Amino acid sequence: MNPAGDRSRDARRRGIVLAAPWIWLLAFFFAPFAIVLTISFSQGIDAMPPFAPLVDISRDGVDLRATLGSYQLMLSDDLYYVALWNAVRIAAVSTIICLLIGYPLALAIVRAPASSRSFLLMLAILPFWTSFLIRVYAWMALLRPTGIINSALMWLGLIVQPVQMIDNAFAVHLGIIYSYLPFMVLPLYAALEKIDPALGEAAADLGARPMRIFAAVTLPLSLPGAAAGCLLVFIPAVGEFVIPDLLGGPNTPMIGRVLWNEFFANRDWPAASAIATVLLAILVAPIVVFQQLRARIAEKNR
Amino acid sequence: MDTCNRGPLTGPAETMAGAPALRLERLSKSFAGVPAVSQATLEVRRGELFSLLGASGCGKTTLLRLIAGLETPDAGRVIIDGVDMTDRPPYERPVNTVFQSYALFPHMSVAGNIAFGLRQERLGKAEIRDRVRAMLELVQMADVGERRPHQLSGGQRQRVALARSLAKLPKVLLLDEPLAALDRKLREQTQIELINIQAKTGITFILVTHDQDEAMSMSTRIAVMAAARIVQIGRPEEIYEAPASRLVADFVGRVNLVDGEVLACESGMAVIRAADGSGELRVRHGTVLMPGAQVWVAVRPERLVIGDAPPTDGVNRGHGTVSEIAYFGDMTVYHLASPAGRRVRLTVANAARGAVALPRRGETMAYYWAPDSGVVLTQ
Amino acid sequence: MTRRLSFPLAAALGLGYAFLYLPILLLIVFSFNESRLVTVWTGFSTRWYIELAGNARILDAAGLSLVVAALSASIALILGTLAAYALTRFGRFRFRLLFAGLLAAPLVMPEVITGLSLLLLFVLLEQAIGWPAERGVATIVIAHATFATAYIAVVVQARLAGLDRSIEEAALDLGARPWKVFVWITLPRLAPGLAAGWLLAFTLSLDDLVVASFVSGPGATTLPMVIFSSVRLGLSPQINALATIVIVVVFTAVVLAGALLTRRDISKI
């Protein structure tokens, strides 16, 4: 057989397999971002769709009508960077608390007897499969002034009047931590499970006490998993809309919610596009780090 | 009491008075009701290179982990250097382990791995540095201290694991199949190195292995384990020449076993009638055997001599058809089918190059063996 | 080693699961409450389930959501499997890094960005080529298939990486052509992963509010969109009843999927 012909047949076969996902991803994932970027430079108009084309071709010639108006709006109005700063801060704080809750949980699952490990793991990720919206809704019923927690505390006599627990930043943190906890536990579990138990035994054998073993062996070796978990929580949390909308009240603007309002309430598509562009620009670095981390972890697993 | 046969290798510590390096008293451990170690009792003297030999699953690794404190015994005591350590956690025991997988910390350099145990003792920086350097030199790895474990070859990793455990100057060093992951050439070379390091440091070594050659060539004494029990403890030549049971005889080296009944036993010579009707066997035997007792006669293949004409009277003879021949270079193994239907294994050292005209497959071959070449086994 | 958990770890496990499950449990309990108030227990009743059964708006939306979820999961299954196969079996190919990056990006991409960008694409496409003339089921399906592809690719990749390649090589050696090897050898051994991936994509689609809100038109309202507009107005025991049904269905599906997936695959998502 002719090896060159073989190789070209092989290449053709690969091309066929790759074509569909490539086309789909470029058309429905990559191209839309280019469009968002373009429209963020266009002018809003009162029409459908509510933005002017960037390039206007008329009898007088080609007219470029790009504008930085939407970006200037973002700079001039406090609302945008307060919302952006809020989003980053709330997402970061929630991520850290998620890590503090998720780490012992993941460690406990890994250290549990082998027979119950997969059951415990399934229990930890089960909420991730149920509706996100429903889980946020569950907290609304818990946190309201007339809600279950307040009623219980008053019945116990611990408080005399309801404590404000909803429509503030506290509720948003809680909602994010609750909703994203499984995303933290999974990569942590994967990283902790991969650590050879013999390493801990070797450390004990060499004289390290349990706390030292954790600090010197378990913790450093689980860092890639912790980093992956943090990014998996932080990145989507920054753009979160549902949680601040349902639990945050009017005083906790977050950037995802502002984008939603610009788009649906104000019908200002260029402004929404500009917000999306800025948000993406902020998140590009963590997304790239996340991808590299994933690639590195996958490489190690090979 | 028997004495050690390997004076130069056991080091100066051996002659020191005092408690044995390790004593196990009726140590037992089972997992989910299945015994892994049952009633293990043994004593290891200072400076010994002691082997735990057995097939996989016989409990030898569990026994090692019980000594290290990585498993808690169900019953029995572990006494290290005269101190009862049964209830102490691993980090308080003066023993260190070379793990089968080496268990090197992947996120630390070679030097960091070796220093780890020393840091737990809160030694000074300078002292740790000196000890790490000394250990790297001991295992001939002085130039790779800054590398990470994944940059090392298997043999290098093994040495780092050894250096890491030796750095703490343990009372007893435990080695769990330390050579299993190495290829054959490297394994033989490392065996010699291990013996040299043991002699140089004088530290007591306890080696777990499933490889009888390794145990035989390296150890001062061997404990043979089978089915969670220690079945025999002795010097390599005792284990080989005077196995305590058929099981040991069969596990350590190859053996021809014939079962039979004792006809007579006088002045150390036992006369045994083979059960297959092939005749009477004479074995020089140390203890008294009761006539009528059921016994087994074990003869090592290399003790069978080819030939027709026995030089003296009273030797045991036999013949058979050559059914298989395996040439190993240094020796040749023959399998004979005896007239009674037994398989006889016989090895011949190839002392001269192609000199002797040896039998071929299908030919009949006669052999004999002297009465003091066999062993009578009662269990 | 099967040692018992130390006390702090056992406590972490207990508190962690209490935190995860108490809100859901209370939600279910109050779906059987007699009163309209979903926070004060007055007595057992199934009236909200009966009212729910008569709520045409919710039932229509649920039907639409199921159709969308099934369609988008099926498209994503094909795309995701092809992509995962390419990434695990083709070694290096041109733009591999970009391909892998594009494929995995939806895993973390904020939904508002995905939703907005897809909507703008659909609007521009409509202007340029007249398609899609109306936004609705088709556009939601496309949008959901896009992000579900990422999840399926991850699950299938993990599964493929765990498969012994020598079995495929043995089939090639025995004379099977590559596509036959894929159909007769790889695919059957991949089946549990594919089933689990499809279920995952299906639930993700059922769950999505944000992306669907952007790309949907006036004619198509999915279940999360109905729930959201209702919840925004306040708590409603009918939503509790609906939530209970969703939770029961999903838990059953996950237990099924859990039987199909090995622990290894789950932990790699």
The mean pLDDT value for A70-86 works out to 89
**Between chains, do A108 and C19 touch, taking CB under 8 Å as contact?**
no
CATH number of the domain bearing residue B112? 3.40.50.300
Sequence ranges of the domains in chain A: 71-300
Contact B285, B269 (CB under 8 A): yes
Q: How confident is the model over C36-90, as pLDDT tens digits?
A: 876 778 889 899 999 999 999 999 999 999 999 999 999 999 999 999 999 888 8
The reply to whether B145 and B41 lie within a common domain is yes
B307 within a domain of the structure (yes/no):
yes
Q: Which pTM does this prediction carry?
A: 0.85
Q: Is residue B3 part of a domain?
A: no
Query: What is the distance, to the nearest Å, from the Cα of residue B127 to the centroid of all Cα atoms in its chain?
Result: 37
Residues B311 and B329 in one domain: yes
Cβ separation of C116 and A259 shorter than 8 Å? yes
Domain interval for residue B56: 22-246
If asked whether residues B159 and B235 sit together in one domain, one would say yes
In percent, the amount of chain A with pLDDT more than 90 equals: 56
Pair B189, B260 in one domain: no
How much of chain C is helix, strand and coil, in % rounded to 5? 75, 0, 20
* Nearest by Cα to A135 from C114, C40, C246, C256: C246
Of A199, A206, A209, the CB nearest to B117: A206
Q: What is the pLDDT, as a whole number, of residue B9?
A: 37
- Determine which of C38, C96, C97, C108 to mutate to test the interface with A (most A C-beta atoms within 10 Å): C108
Q: How far apart are CA B302 and CA B253, in angstroms?
A: 11
Which chain A residues have a beta carbon less than 8 Å from that of C16?
101, 104-105, 108, 124, 181
Binning pLDDT at 50, 70 and 90, where does residue A206 land?
very high
Are A207 and B103 a contacting pair at CB < 8 A?
Answer: no
Sheet holding B49-53, edge to edge: B95-98, B172-176, B204-209, B49-53, B221-226, B229-234
Looking at chain A, the number of H-run helices and the number of E-run strands are 14, 2
Q: How far is B91 from chain A (nearest CA, A)?
A: 4
| pLDDT value at C12 more than 70 | yes
Min Cα separation B109/chain A (Å): 13
Give B100→chain A minimum CA distance, Å.
9
CB environment A274-291: b (16+ within 10 A), e (fewer): bbbbbbbebbeeebeebb
Cβ partners under 8 Å of residue B45, min gap 6: B4, B14, B20, B21, B204
How far is it, in rounded angstroms, from Cα B193 to Cα B197? 6
Inter-chain residue contact B90 with A199, CB threshold 8 Å: no
Residue B1 lies in a domain: no
Q: Pick the last residue of a domain from B217, B246, B275.
A: B246
- Residue A243 is predicted with a pLDDT of 95
CB pairs under 8 A between A and B: 61
Contacts of residue A221 in chain B, CB cutoff 8 Å?
A: 106-107
Res C269: pLDDT: 44
Judged by CB atoms closer than 8 Å, whether chains meet at C251 and A130 is answered as yes
Contact assignment for C110 to A193 by CB distance below 8 Å: no
A&C contacts, CB < 8 Å? 262
A204 in Cβ contact with B89 (< 8 Å): yes
B101 Cβ contact partners less than 8 Å away, ≥ 6 residues apart:
A196, A198, B181
Does the distance separating the beta carbons of B70 and A208 come in below 8 Å? no
**Largest Cα span, chain C:** 72
**CA gap B8, B14 in Å, rounded:** 10
By C-alpha distance, the chain C residue nearest A247 is C232
Subunit contact A193:C231, Cβ cutoff 8 A: no
Min Cα distance C219 → chain A (Å) is 17
Contact residues, chain A, for C157 at CB < 8 Å: 298
H or E element, residue C202 = helix C187-207
Inter-chain contact C10–A108, Cβ cutoff 8 Å?
yes
Asked if residue B7 belongs to a domain, the reply is no
pLDDT, tens digit, 9 for 90 and up, residues B128-184:
999 999 999 999 998 999 999 999 999 999 999 999 999 999 999 999 999 988 888
The residue of chain C with its CA nearest to that of A260 is C112
Place of tokens 């968002």: A36
- C38 contacts in chain A (CB < 8 Å): 141
Q: How many domains does chain B have?
A: 2
Within 8 A by CB and 6+ apart from A183, the residues are A128, A229, A232, A233
Chain A contact for B120 (CB, 8 A cutoff) = yes
* Residue among C108, C224, C227 whose CB faces A236 most closely: C108
Distance from CA of B151 to the nearest CA of A (A): 14
Alpha-carbon B139 to chain mean position? 24
Model confidence at A32: pLDDT above 50: yes
Residue C208 near residue C109 (C-beta atoms within 8 A) = no
More confident residue, C192 or B98: B98
Distance CA C215, CA C225 (A): 12
Exposure of B183 by Cβ count < 10 A (0-12 exposed, 13-18 middle, 19+ buried)? exposed
CB C1 to CB A197 under 8 A?
yes
Task: Sheet with B22-31: list strands edge to edge.
Answer: B34-44, B22-31, B75-80, B83-84
Residues with Cβ within 8 Å of residue A273, at least 6 apart in sequence: A36, A37, A39, A40, A70, C116, C120
**Is B93 in the same domain as B215?**
yes
C-alpha closest to that of B14 among B240, B198, B176, B236:
B198
Per-residue pLDDT in tens (0 to 9) along chain B, 379 residues: 333 333 333 334 444 456 899 999 999 999 989 999 999 999 999 999 999 999 988 999 999 999 999 999 999 999 999 999 999 999 999 999 999 999 999 999 999 999 999 999 889 999 999 999 999 999 999 899 999 999 999 999 999 999 999 999 999 999 999 998 888 888 989 999 999 999 999 999 999 999 998 999 999 999 999 999 999 999 999 999 889 888 899 888 889 998 888 888 877 788 888 887 777 888 887 677 788 888 899 999 998 888 766 566 667 888 889 998 888 888 889 999 988 888 899 888 887 776 566 778 888 888 888 888 888 888 7
Subunits adjacent to chain B (3 or more Cβ pairs under 8 Å): A
For C23, the closest of A30, A126, A135 (CB atoms) is A135
Same-domain status, B104 and B128: yes
- The reported pLDDT for the residue numbered B166 is 95
Instruction: Choose the weakest-confidence range: A270-279, C4-13, C14-23, C110-119.
Output: C4-13
Smallest Cβ–Cβ distance between A242 and the set C12, C93, C209 belongs to: C209
- Closest Cα of chain A to C214: distance in Å? 9
**A155 has a chain C CB within 8 A of its CB:** no
Within 10 angstroms of residue B318's Cβ, the number of other Cβ atoms is 23
Angstrom distances, CA of residue B338 to CA of A64, A101, B116, B303, B348: 104, 74, 62, 17, 18
Which residues have CB under 8 Å from C41's CB, separation 6+? C29, C30, C33, C35
Q: Mean pLDDT throughout C197-220? A: 91
Q: Which of C28, C116, C221 to mutate to test the interface with A (most CBs of A within 10 A)?
A: C116
Who contacts B233 (Cβ-Cβ below 8 Å, separation ≥6)? B42, B221, B222, B223, B224
Boundary residue ending a domain (B224, B246, B268): B246
Please state whether the peptide bond connecting residue B178 to the residue before it is cis, i.e. omega within 30 degrees of 0.
no
Q: Can you spell out the DSSP letters for A193-210?
A: HHS-HHHHHHHHHTT--H
- The CATH architecture annotation of domain A71-300 reads Orthogonal Bundle (1.10)
Tokens of B166: 């030796």
Note whether residue B9 is domain-resident. no
Residue A231 forms contact with C (CB below 8 Å)? yes
Residue B40's CB is within 10 A of a number of other CB atoms, namely 26
Has residue B52 been placed in a domain? yes
Contact B165 A205 (CB under 8 A): yes
**Residues of chain A with C-beta less than 8 angstroms from the C-beta of B164:** 202, 206
State whether A205 and B90 contact (CB < 8 Å).
Answer: yes
Q: Rounded CA gap, B297 and B303, in Å?
A: 13
Taking a contact as any Cβ pair under 8 Å apart, which residues of chain A between 178 and 207 contact chain B? 196, 198-199, 201-207
Q: What pLDDT does B312 receive?
A: 61
**Domain assignments of chain C as residue spans, ordered by start:** 56-224
Which 3 state secondary structure label does DSSP give B322?
A: strand
Bin B102: left if φ > 0, else alpha if -120 < ψ < 50, else beta: left
Asked whether the beta carbons of residue C109 and residue A235 sit closer than 8 angstroms, the reply is yes
Of all residues in chain B, the one with the smallest CA distance to A198 is: B103
A153 at the B interface (CB within 8 A)? no
Nearest to C111 among A20, A115, A241 (CB): A241
Q: With an 8 Å Cβ cutoff, is A160 touching chain B?
A: no
DSSP B229: E
- Other C-beta atoms closer than 10 Å to the C-beta of C259 total 11
Residue in B68, B70, B103 nearest the CB of A199: B103
* Distance between C166 CA and the closest CA of chain A, angstroms: 15
* CB contact at 8 A, C102 and A16: no
Instruction: Judge whether residue C254 has pLDDT over 70.
Output: yes
| End-to-end C-alpha distance for chain A, whole angstroms | 33
The pLDDT value given to residue B355:
53
Q: What are phi and psi of B205, to 5 degrees?
A: -110, 135
- Number of other residues whose CB lies within 10 A of the CB of residue A66: 12
Contact A206 B96 (CB under 8 A): yes
Report if residue B8 sits inside a domain. Answer: no
With CA atoms as reference, the chain A residue closest to C247 would be A130
Is A151 at the interface with chain C, CB within 8 A? yes
Provide, as residue numbers in chain C, all residues whose Cβ is less than 8 Å from the Cβ of A139.
23
Contact A187, A229 (CB under 8 A): yes
Q: Is residue B278 part of a domain?
A: yes
Do B337 and B218 fall into the same domain?
A: no
Confidence check: pLDDT of A267 > 50 = yes
Q: By the CB < 8 Å criterion, does A211 face chain B?
A: no
Note whether B90 and B219 are same-domain residues.
Answer: yes
Mutate to test the interface with B, among A195, A201, A205 (most CBs of B within 10 A): A205
Nearest Cα to Cα of residue C162 among C104, C106, C84, C98: C84
Which CATH number applies to C56-224? Answer: 1.10.3720.10
Question: What is the CB neighbour count within 10 angstroms for residue B61?
Answer: 21
Residues B80 and B150 reside in one and the same domain: yes
Over 60: is that where the pLDDT of A65 sits? yes
Average pLDDT in the A194-216 region?
Answer: 95
